[in-house]
Structures are given as C-alpha cells and as structure tokens.
Amino acid sequence: MLGMGLTLRIADFTRVFTYPKAALIGLFNQLILLPLVGFAVVWWFPLNPEFAVGIMLIALCPGGATSNLITHLAKADLALSITLTAFSSVITVFTIPILLGFSMEYFLGEAKMIAIPFIPTILKIMAVTVFPVSIGMLIKARFSQFADRVIGTVNIISTVFFVLVVIAAVAQDKENIVSSLLLIGLPLFVLNVTMLFLGFLIPRMLKIELRQSLTISIETGIQNGTLAIAIALGILGNSSMALPGALYGLMMFFTIIPVVLYGRMKVKES
C-alpha cells in the first residue's frame, strides 16, 4: 500500500471528473457487481461456511496496485486504472466491515458468528490501507524524484511480502491444504473469469472505448489478495478464510494473461 501511494497524486482522485462515465462504471463493477457475483458463486457451489466467507472477502476487497502494472502491460488506460484503484481502496475501508458482517451472518449463522466491531475494524483496515497510501502520497508530493527512484525496489519488496503472506496463510492450514484448494479452486476460477468478462462486456455495451473497457476489466478481476489474507488472519483470526485470498492472489496472474495479450494486440491495431 505504501508502494501504491508512491505512484498516486491528488489529481488521481480529481481525475474522475474527466471521464465520469468510465469511472462510475468501473466503481459499479468493483464495489457492487463483484460482491453480487461473488455471493452467487458461493451460493451455487457447495462450500463450507468459512470458505464461503473467505471468497466473499476477496470479492469485497479493492483492486490491488498490481492492477496498475497489468493495465500498463495491456496498453490500457493507466490513468483510469490508478483512479479506480485509489477510489476503491478508500471506499472499501467502510464497505468491507458492513458487507463482511452480512456475509458472516448469512453463511456462519448466529451460532458460529464472529463479532466484527465496526469502528475498530475500520481503523484496522485504515491502518493497512489508507495510512500507508497517504504516507506514500506525501513522499511522492514532497520528494518526487526519490519516490520515482525507489518505486522499483518497493515493488520488489511488495512481491516478496505477498509471497511470504501466501506462505503464512497456507501454513496456518497446512494439514488440509490440498483438499481445501481443490474445494475452492473452481469457485474462485469462475468468479475471476466471470468478472474479467463482465468487466469488459458491460463498458463496451455502454459505449466505453476499448482501452478504458480493458482497464475496467482488469480492475474488476485483479483483487488485493494480500489485504484479504491480512483481514482473515489479523482481524478474524481464521486461517480457512485466508486461503481463498491466497489462491485468488496467485490464480489471477494466470487468468489475466489473455486480457493482456488481447489488449496489446487490439490497442496496437487501433
């Protein structure tokens, strides 16, 4: 999140007024459609309640900073990607506790319900999202050249950190890891591919140009798996709920390849 902040400026939050239609469609896909599709997926597949909540958690998280890099590789609209990432990262601080609470009540029931104190949960999520992003933005604003020099190193550190977080999540439930991944692999794949497809189809149907439609697809399909794991382990204290975030965070790097290749081919042609 600090690394994301090093790439952001205040203009990334005001730029939404430059192309409001694309931004609103992107935020709708990310904040409303994705949780609805996530709920439909976990309702359709026979999953234990903790895995269902874990999949809902990944559907509630914002797009990760990785989406900005993938957008660049796909020759899509990087400015729109950064704007959507910035907005979703702020908005989900407040939507995650509410919608996660509903999900836990629905899938776990009152007997197994884990209490989520609203204000403390918001503060904890802010501590790992808004605060480090704000620090990164401050560094970017005050020491722009320094931020540009270190961003590559920070990205490498972020990647290493993500791998370590995935290993930690898997290690928490290592006795059942193979059977667990077999159970949640297909639902996560369906969720990811469905959102990549809808993320592209909906803006195209609404006459959004190709590069912005590709960006919305990427932002809808690339989720902050590290944040999902952090919430599952650090706030909920449940390793089973962390596994969907770990697997999704790895899977999305493979499912996004066709989108990147399509973007590089089509954008070049246009």
Please report, for the chain, the start and end positions of each structural domain, with discontinuous segments joined by +.
2-265
Q: What pLDDT, on a 0 to 100 scale, did the predictor assign at position 115? A: 59
Q: What is the pLDDT of residues 49-107, one digit of tens each?
A: 999 999 999 999 988 777 878 888 888 888 888 888 888 888 888 898 889 988 988 88
> Is the per-residue pLDDT at 173 higher than 70?
no
Q: What pLDDT, on a 0 to 100 scale, did the predictor assign at position 191? A: 96
Least confident of 4-13, 128-137, 221-230: 4-13
* Contacts for 72 with CB less than 8 Å, ≥ 6 apart: 78
Q: What pLDDT, on a 0 to 100 scale, did the predictor assign at position 169? A: 66
> Is the per-residue pLDDT at 111 higher than 50?
no
Average pLDDT, the chain: 84
Backbone phi, psi, residue 39, to 5°: -65, -40
**Between the ranges 72-76, 108-112, 113-117, 156-160, where is the mean pLDDT highest?**
72-76
Q: What pLDDT, on a 0 to 100 scale, did the predictor assign at position 221? A: 92
Do 27 and 84 touch, CB atoms closer than 8 A?
yes
Least confident of 3-17, 41-55, 60-74, 112-126: 112-126
Instruction: Say which CATH architecture domain 2-265 belongs to.
Output: Up-down Bundle (1.20)
pTM flag (> 0.85): no
